[in-house]
């Protein structure tokens, strides 16, 4: 069983704060690390797919880094806005098959 851990479980920040969360995953047999943004009752939406150690990706105020050797990825949100409130899921692609194993997510609430 692959272990994908996300921390913290939940986070409350004020509008304008910058924040970050962590995803840890197995450091062997790595293919890819995905980040998704999910609002309840909607479809999870892909933010980033990272495949190379040291990868850094950015989309607007959101960025992510990847360390495959030590098995972690960070997601950063700069200047949080209320519309950033959502659950952020990471998913590890690896092992001998091609399925993605999801973490339990970090629930972010941005207070106006």
Rule CB under 8 A: which residues touch another protein? 31-32, 34, 36, 38, 41-46, 49, 51, 87, 89, 91, 93, 97-102, 104-105, 107
H or E element that contains 63: strand 62-67
**3-class DSSP state for residue 49?**
strand
For residue 100 the two structure tokens come to 């993605």
Residue 70 to residue 34: CA distance in whole angstroms? 16
Question: To the nearest whole angstrom, how small is the minimum distance from the Cβ of residue 42 to another protein?
Answer: 6
Considering beta carbons, is residue 7 or 14 the nearer one to another protein? Answer: 7
DSSP character at residue 84: G
Q: What are phi and psi of 75, to 5 degrees?
A: -115, 130
Query: Dmax over Cα atoms in the chain, in whole Å?
Result: 45
Question: To the nearest whole angstrom, how small is the minimum distance from the Cβ of residue 62 to another protein?
Answer: 14
Question: To the nearest whole angstrom, how small is the minimum distance from the Cβ of residue 16 to another protein?
Answer: 26
Question: To the nearest whole angstrom, how small is the minimum distance from the Cβ of residue 20 to another protein?
Answer: 18
Residue 101 to residue 94: CA distance in whole angstroms? 8
Considering beta carbons, is residue 40 or 112 the nearer one to another protein? Answer: 40
Considering beta carbons, is residue 10 or 14 the nearer one to another protein? Answer: 10
Considering beta carbons, is residue 28 or 43 the nearer one to another protein? Answer: 43
């Amino acid at each position: 069983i692959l272990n994908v851990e996300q921390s913290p479980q939940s986070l409350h920040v004020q509008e304008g704060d910058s924040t970050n969360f962590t995803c840890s995953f197995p450091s062997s047999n790595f293919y890819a690390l995905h980040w998704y943004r999910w609002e309840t009752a909607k479809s999870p939406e892909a933010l980033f797919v990272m495949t190379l150690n040291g990868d850094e990706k950015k989309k607007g105020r959101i960025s992510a880094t990847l360390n495959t050797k030590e098995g972690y990825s960070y997601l950063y949100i700069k200047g949080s806005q209320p519309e950033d409130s959502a659950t952020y899921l990471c998913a590890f692609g690896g092992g001998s098959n091609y399925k993605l194993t999801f973490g339990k997510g970090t629930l972010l609430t941005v207070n106006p």
